[in-house]
Structure 1
Amino acid sequence: MKKILVTGSNGLLGQKITEQILQTRQFDLIATSRGANRFPVQEGYTYAEMDILDPLNVRNVVHHYQPDAIIHTAAMTNVDTCEAQQDLANRLNVDAVKTLISVCEKNQIQLVHLSTDFIFDGASGPYDEAAEPSPVSHYGLTKVRAEEAIAASSCDWVIIRTILVYGIVSDMSRSNIVLWAKNALEKGDPINVVNDQWRMPTLAEDLAIACLLAVEKKAQGIYHISGKDMMSVAELVTRVADYWQLNQSGVTEISSASLNQKARRPVKTGFVLDKAIKDLGYVPHSFEEGLELFDKQIKSR
């Protein structure tokens, strides 16, 4: 049985990977994150504290557990925070990746790295894997630099780019767009949503499965993983409201420019999914199917 080490296992994607592995028992899991383990089930896998900013700690943990693959989900993903704290963003999103590259090269470990649609400027989406990166934010730039370092390495590597991941776990330390929209609509809060940005939101379960398929199939190269439905952010909120039959009277559609955000966002991203479907057997849910699963999980909590 292959042994997989996951970084950022306390995050949404990290916890969904843990769920998938515990359900299928297909891999031996080493879950790692900073601080205590926040996953509700503590058995059936190993948890180890690991700080990706500490190269010695990373090397020691990897040497101790000897994984066959590392799925690197940990990152600084808040776009405006990355813009404001560029040195920290560089350390978390670039330097930490270089540490993992070094460890993977030395120990013949496959590296599965999570990247983003924000490496593109959004002028000509949806994008296939061969599209040229052109980031408009520091966050996007850090992810491009990480990709370039991985592509130049000698380890077996997979870069999985994704878009606007949503889902729910028992301990949500951070929100995501579907959870935010549902909660705000239920409370009747006034909310502003942009109507001039388009995305293909990704169900966290779909992304977790894609990461494990990349390990299972010994994939190499870049893969685009997202949901299959393109929509504006405003339409996303409308579809959330429609699914749960929530009042939309507090919703105001606005332009991106009126938000005065610190970092620019790409206008229209989205992915061509043909390569992942063909090579990995990736089968994305529709947005409404994702909301249905989300709803079942909320009710079972």
Structure 2
Amino acid sequence: MKTILTTGSNGLLGQKITEKVLAEGRVKLVATSKGENRYPAAAGYEYAEMDILDSKQVRDVIERYKPDAIIHTAAMTNVDTAEANKELCYALNVNAVQTLISLCEEKNIQLVHLSTDFIFDGANGPYKEDDAANPLSYYGESKVLAEELFKDSKANWAILRTILVYGITSDMSRSNIVLWAKGALEKGLPINVVNDQWRMPTLAEDLAEACLLAVEKQANGIYHISGKDYMSIADLVRKVADYWALDQSIVTEVTSVGLNQTARRPMKTGFILDKAINDLGYRPHSFEEGLKVVDGQISLES
């Protein structure tokens, strides 16, 4: 059985990988993150503190556990924070990736890296894997720079690009679009939502499954991983309202210009998923099915 090491295991995707491994037992898991373990169960896997900016600690942990594969989920993903703090963004999203690539080359470890639809400018979505990158934000630029490191490396690697990941865990450090919309609507707070940005939201469980499939199938190259439904952010929020029978009258649709976000966002991304479906056996949920999964988990929490 393969041993995989995850970075960023306290995040949403990291916790979903842990959850899936514990439920299915397909691999041995070493979960790593900065600080204490936030996953509620401590048995059935190893946990090690690991700051991806500390290259010596990263080497020590990898040499201790000798994984067959690393799934690298840790990153700065807040687009506006990245725009405001480019130096830290570069350290987390580029330098840390170089550290992992070098170690994986040296020790013959497969490296599965997470990237984003924000490498594209949103002028011609949905996108195929070989479409040209043209990021509009520093976050997108940092992820392009990280991808370029792989193309020059001798490591065994796969890049999984994804879009607008949503889901819920028992201990979350940050929200996501579905939970934000549900929470605001439940409180009856008037919200402004963009109607000219289009995405294919991704259930965290689907992305976790894609990560494990990439390891199991020794995937190599770039794969697009998202949900299968294409919608505007405004449509997404209305679908959330419909699912939980919440009042939509407090939703005001605005354009991207009206929202005045720090970093520019691509207008229409979305992915063509054929490669992941055919090569990995990837089978994403519909958005409605994804909301049902989240709803079931909220019910268990309460």
Q: What TM-score do the two structures reach when normalised by structure 1?
A: 0.99
CA contact (8 A) 2:112 2:160 kept: yes
1:274-294 Cα deviation digits (max 9, x unpaired): 000000000000000000010
Structure 1: runs of 5 or more not aligned: none
Q: Does 1:259 align with 2:259?
A: yes
**Residue in 1 aligned with 2:58?**
58
Alignment match, 1:241? 241
Shift of 1:60: 0.6
SS at match of 2:32: strand
Matched, 1:69 2:69: yes
Aligned to 2:147: 147
Corresponding residue for 2:110?
A: 110
Distance in 2 (alpha carbons) for counterparts of 1:90 and 1:150: 16
How far apart are residue 250 of structure 1 and its match?
1.1
Letter of the 1:148 counterpart: E
SS at match of 1:248: coil
Q: Distance in 1 between matches of 2:237 and 2:44?
A: 37
- Quote the Cα distance in structure 2 between the aligned partners of 1:220 and 1:132: 19
Distance in 1, Cα, partners of 2:152 & 2:177? 34
Pairing 1:151-300 to 2, within 5 Å after superposition: 151-300=151-300
Q: Secondary structure at the match of 2:237?
A: helix
Structure 1 residue 249, shift from structure 2 partner: 1.5
Identity %, equivalent residues: 70
Offset, 1:32: 0.2
> Residue 132 of structure 2 aligns with which residue?
132
1:140: Cα distance to partner? Answer: 0.2
1: CA distance, partners of 2:151 / 2:28: 27
What's the offset of the Cα at 1:266? 0.2
Supply the distance in 2 between the matched residues of 1:153 and 1:72 (Cα, whole angstroms).
16
**Offset at residue 48 of structure 1 (A):** 0.1
**Cross-structure match for 1:121:** 121
How far did residue 258 of structure 1 move? 1.3
Separation of aligned partners in 1, 2:220 and 2:252:
44
Unmatched 5+ residue regions in structure 2? none
Query: By how many angstroms is 1:56 displaced?
Result: 0.5
Runs of 4+ in 1 over 2 A off after TM superposition: none
- Determine helix, strand or coil for the equivalent of 2:252: strand
1:185 is aligned with what amino acid? L
**Structure 1: how far apart are the matches of 2:173 and 2:218?**
32
Q: CA deviation at 1:172?
A: 1.5
For 1:18 and 1:297, locate their aligned partners in 2 and report how far apart those are by CA, in whole Å. Answer: 16
- Mapped contact 2:192–2:259 kept (Cα < 8 A): no
Matches within 5 A, 1:3-18: 3-18=3-18
Displacement of 1:191 in angstroms is 0.5
Q: What secondary structure sits across from 2:297 in the alignment? A: helix
Query: Aligned residue for 2:91?
Result: 91
Query: How does the TM-score come out when normalised to structure 2?
Result: 0.99
Query: Who is 1:30 aligned against?
Result: 30
Distance 1:53 1:80 in 2: 21
The alpha-carbon deviation at position 173 of structure 1 amounts to: 1.5
Cα distance, 1:152 vs. partner?
A: 1.0
Q: State the distance in 2 between where 1:72 and 1:296 align.
A: 28
CA distance in structure 2 between the aligned counterparts of 1:210 and 1:147, rounded to whole angstroms: 18
Kindly tell me the number of residue pairs found equivalent between the two proteins.
301
Residue 48 of structure 2 aligns with which residue? Answer: 48
How far is 1:262 from its partner?
1.3
The 8 Å contact of residues 72 and 113 in structure 2, kept in 1 or not, is answered as yes
**Cα distance in 1 between the residues matched to 2:261 and 2:276:** 33
CA distances 1:161-202 after superposition (whole Å, capped 9, x unpaired): 000000000012100000000011111011000000000000
The one-letter code sitting in structure 1 at the alignment partner of 2:255 is S
- Residue 203 of structure 1: CA displacement? 0.2
- For residues 233 and 123 of structure 1, the distance between their equivalents in structure 2, rounded to whole angstroms, comes to 16
1:230 is displaced (CA, Å) by 0.3
